[in-house]
C-alpha cells in the first residue's frame, strides 16, 4: 500500500514551532523560535492536510459526494496469511479464532484499496503486475458512466480493463483490473495516476470538479 511518507513531502518542511521546546530539543538549548525546519514521516499528514485546505470547495464537496467508493470489510483487512503470520499471531491481532485454512491467502497488494505499488526486481528493473479492484457507487447518480484516464511515464505500459464503468443502480458493484508492464531506468522511481472521470459522458454537470475517483501509485526498484 502507498503510505503517506511515500506520496507526500516529508523532508525539510517549514512548520510552526512551540516555544516550549528548543529547535534542537537538546538540553541546554534555550532558543525559542516561531518556526522550525523538520523532517520525518510525521510531517507528511499535516503537510498534505494543509495543502488540501487551499482548495476549500474540494474539501467541502468531495467527502460528502464521493459518488464512487471502495468496499472493505473486516475480512478484507485480515490478509495476514500472505505476510507469513502463524495462527497464534493472527488470533492475537484479529481477536477471532481465525487461521489461514479458513481465509484467503492474500497479500497487501490484493487489499481493495485505491493505491497500487510494485517493486522492480533486479537486474533489469522490469515491471509486470496486475491489480483487481472493486468499486461501488452508493451516493451518486444511479445511472452514471465513468471513463478511465491514465497518466504514466513513457517506459510504462498501463491499462485498465474495462476502461469504462457504467452503473445502472445505486449500490451496484463494478470490477476492473489495472495492469502495469515496462522497465524503469536504473536507480529510478516511477509514478503514475488513474482517474475515473465522468466529464466525457456528463459534460454539463454543475460541479467545480468532475473527477470523483483518483488514484496514484509508485513503482519502486
Phi-psi region of 163 (alpha: psi -120 to 50; beta: other; left: phi over 0): alpha
* Domain limits, the chain: 4-54, 73-111, 112-220
- Fold for domain 112-220? Immunoglobulin-like (2.60.40)
Q: Which residues of the chain have pLDDT under 70?
A: 1-10, 47-48, 51-66, 77, 79-82, 99-107, 120-125, 137-140, 186-189, 199-221
pLDDT value for 162: 93
What residues contact residue 195 under an 8 Å CB cut-off, 6+ apart? 148, 149, 151, 211, 213, 214, 215
Cα 96 from Cα 8, distance rounded (Å)? 35
Amino acid at each position: 500500500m502507498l503510505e503517506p511518507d511515500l506520496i507526500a513531502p516529508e523532508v525539510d518542511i517549514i512548520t510552526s514551532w512551540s516555544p516550549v521546546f528548543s529547535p534542537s530539543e537538546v538540553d541546554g538549548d534555550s532558543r525559542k523560535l516561531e518556526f522550525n525546519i523538520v523532517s520525518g514521516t510525521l510531517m507528511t499528514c499535516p503537510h498534505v492536510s494543509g495543502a488540501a485546505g487551499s482548495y476549500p470547495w474540494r474539501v467541502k464537496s468531495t467527502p460528502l459526494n464521493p459518488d464512487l467508493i471502495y468496499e472493505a470489510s473486516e475480512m478484507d483487512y485480515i490478509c495476514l496469511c500472505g505476510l507469513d503470520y502463524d495462527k497464534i499471531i493472527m488470533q492475537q491481532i484479529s481477536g477471532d479464532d481465525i487461521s489461514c485454512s479458513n481465509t484467503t491467502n492474500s497479500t497487501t497488494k490484493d487489499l481493495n484499496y485505491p493505491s497500487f505499488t510494485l517493486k522492480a526486481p533486479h537486474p533489469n528493473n522490469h515491471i509486470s503486475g496486475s491489480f483487481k479492484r472493486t468499486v461501488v457507487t452508493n451516493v451518486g447518480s444511479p445511472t452514471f458512466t465513468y471513463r478511465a484516464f491514465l497518466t504514466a511515464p513513457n517506459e510504462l505500459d498501463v491499462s485498465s480493463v474495462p476502461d469504462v464503468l457504467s452503473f445502472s443502480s445505486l449500490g451496484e458493484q463494478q470490477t476492473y483490473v489495472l495492469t502495469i508492464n515496462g522497465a524503469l531506468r536504473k536507480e529510478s522511481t516511477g509514478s503514475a495516476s488513474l482517474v475515473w472521470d465522468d466529464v466525457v459522458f456528463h459534460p454539463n454537470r454543475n460541479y467545480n470538479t468532475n473527477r470523483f475517483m483518483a488514484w496514484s501509485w509508485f513503482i519502486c526498484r
